[in-house]
């Protein structure tokens, strides 16, 4: 395809409740959507998962917005017959900015697949019609509030809960939740809040029969994670450390992880996400789909990705209602009994809720080529 028009739209979405992690608290999402139109009139949607501040990674949404406009779009528009598989090679000269690149690739891939009449799940190699999903629970102000929030999700049918932890909020919340739900699938996410000096303390988490402990140490400390893996029985899962298929192979070879959280935005897109899935499968390392508080566009695409065979652990693809009063798509993804149905329509398989999109829009710009 040849790109003829690209719209960059910024929206402000209030969260149904504040979401606190070890690196900050979000009360609303500053969302960047990219919509591409090709020379045959087909359009595709991409969602940039970068936060409003560079706290999860070095990217932030305004930086991604500028980078897409100034550096990515001119390169993509110059390709006369662009395919989604050519996006990453075309943008390879631009260093980093995986979330910006992922949004651009997602929009081109959506347009391509809508034209072909092929769903994203089928294109990626989905083997399931529905995927097991869990819910991510932020750091709460008090233990009773945490337990009450978890109870709500268990009643809603979720069968896997992920608790955010940090130094000073780890053992007690786990004890409170585990005593209330002795048999529930439970895991924790530290978002890099600990160091190897905390190994003896982190070993206490082994008492809670967790599925995994996610990213306890800084993203560049593979050696530390490998050392920690020798001292814990709980499997180590990496998130922020895994930025490509090559980094996944390195982490596995070094013994830094035995499970991988795959987030398409973090790794540059759904095609690299599939490569990571394949590398992990080749090493017998299970994967699951992480979340970045996506809207219905990203949640639909993540559900398709999570239908690949080596996604054997529940992903952070909770229903849209976990985060949004009303979603940006007309068919918001809702979990039923802990499962999410894989979209079957062409491309992402979801359509924009245009009136609501317009109401939440802060700014929009259209670039023609
Ligand atoms: O369900 C979701 O979409 C969020 C899952 C989740 O906890 N994401 C965390 C993470 O570190 O994995 C996150 C939160 C905020 C911003 C970035 C990432």
The total number of structural domains in the chain stands at 2
Task: Looking at the structure, tell me whether residues 72 and 10 fall in a common domain.
Answer: yes
Q: How far apart are the first and last CA of the chain?
A: 13
Claim to verify: residue 9 and residue 87 sit in the same structural domain = yes
The answer to the question of residue 347 being in a domain is no
Same domain, 112 and 138: no
Does 191 share its domain with 244? Answer: yes
CATH of the domain at 56: 3.30.390.10
Report the complex ipTM.
Answer: 0.98
Q: How far apart are CA 161 and CA 149, in angstroms?
A: 11
Q: Which candidate, 237, 349, 261, places its Cα nearest to that of 299?
A: 349
pLDDT tens per residue, the chain (369 residues)? 999 999 999 999 999 999 999 889 999 999 999 999 999 999 999 999 999 999 999 999 999 999 999 999 999 999 999 999 999 999 999 999 999 999 999 999 999 999 999 999 999 999 999 999 999 999 999 999 999 999 999 999 999 999 999 999 999 999 999 999 999 999 999 999 999 999 999 999 999 999 999 999 999 999 999 999 999 999 999 999 999 999 999 999 999 999 999 999 999 999 999 999 999 999 999 999 999 999 999 999 999 999 999 999 999 999 999 999 999 999 999 999 999 999 999 999 999 999 999 999 999 999 999
Among residues 32, 38, 31, 40, which one has the least CA distance to residue 6? Answer: 38
Residue 6 burial (10 A CB sphere; 0-12, 13-18, 19+): buried
Whether residues 48 and 169 share a domain: the answer is: no
The verdict on 221 and 290 lying in the same domain is: yes
What CATH number is attached to the domain comprising 148? 3.20.20.120
Spatial separation of the C-alpha atoms in residues 228 and 89, rounded to whole Å = 36
Q: Same domain for 77 and 177?
A: no
204 and 98 belong to one structural domain: no
Inside any domain, residue 168? yes
Are 18 and 131 in the same domain? no
188/205 Cα distance (integer angstroms): 9
346 in a structural domain: no
The parent domain of residue 26 ranges over: 3-116+352-368
Q: What residue's CA is closest to ligand 1, atom 14?
A: 292
Q: How far is the CA of 135 from the centre of ligand 1 (A)?
A: 10
Same domain, 53 and 184: no
| Region class of 295: left (phi > 0), else alpha (psi between -120 and 50), else beta | beta
Residues 89 and 127 in one domain: no
Mutate to test the pocket of ligand 1, among 15, 21, 22, 50 (most ligand atoms within 8 A of CB): 21
C-beta of 191 in contact with ligand 1 (< 6 A): yes
């Amino acid at each position: 395809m040849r790109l003829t028009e690209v719209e960059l739209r910024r929206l402000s979405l209030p969260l149904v409740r504040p979401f606190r992690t070890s690196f900050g608290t979000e009360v609303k999402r500053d969302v960047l959507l990219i919509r591409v139109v090709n020379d045959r009139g087909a359009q595709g949607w991409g969602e940039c998962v970068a936060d409003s501040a560079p706290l999860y990674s070095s990217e932030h949404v305004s930086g991604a917005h500028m980078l897409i406009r100034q550096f990515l779009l001119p390169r993509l528009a110059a390709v006369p017959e662009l395919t989604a598989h050519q996006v990453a090679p075309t943008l390879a000269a631009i260093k980093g900015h995986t979330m910006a690149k992922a949004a651009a690739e997602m929009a081109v891939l959506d347009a391509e697949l809508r034209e072909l009449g092929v769903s994203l799940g089928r294109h990626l190699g989905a083997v399931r019609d529905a995927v097991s999903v869990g819910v991510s629970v932020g750091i709460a102000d008090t233990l009773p509030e945490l337990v009450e929030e978890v109870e709500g999700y268990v009643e809603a049918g979720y069968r896997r809960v992920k608790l955010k932890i940090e130094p000073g909020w780890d053992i007690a919340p786990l004890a409170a939740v585990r005593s209330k739900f002795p048999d529930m699938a439970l895991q924790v996410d530290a978002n890099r809040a600990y160091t190897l000096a905390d190994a003896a303390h982190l070993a206490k988490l082994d008492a809670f029969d967790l599925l995994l402990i996610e990213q306890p140490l800084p993203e560049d400390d593979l050696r530390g994670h490998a050392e920690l893996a020798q001292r814990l029985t709980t499997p180590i899962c990496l998130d922020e450390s895994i930025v490509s298929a090559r980094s996944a192979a390195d982490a596995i070879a070094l013994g830094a992880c035995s499970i991988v959280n795959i987030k398409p935005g973090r790794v540059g897109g759904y095609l690299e996400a599939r490569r990571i899935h394949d590398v992990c499968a080749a090493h017998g390392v299970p994967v699951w789909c992480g979340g970045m508080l996506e809207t219905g566009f990203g949640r639909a695409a993540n559900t398709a990705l999570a239908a690949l065979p080596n996604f054997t652990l529940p992903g952070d693809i909770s229903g849209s209602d976990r985060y949004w009063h009303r979603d940006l798509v007309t068919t918001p993804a809702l979990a039923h009994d802990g499962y999410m149905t894989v979209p079957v329509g062409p491309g992402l398989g979801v359509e924009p809720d245009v009136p609501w999109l317009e109401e939440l829009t802060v700014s929009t710009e259209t670039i023609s080529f």
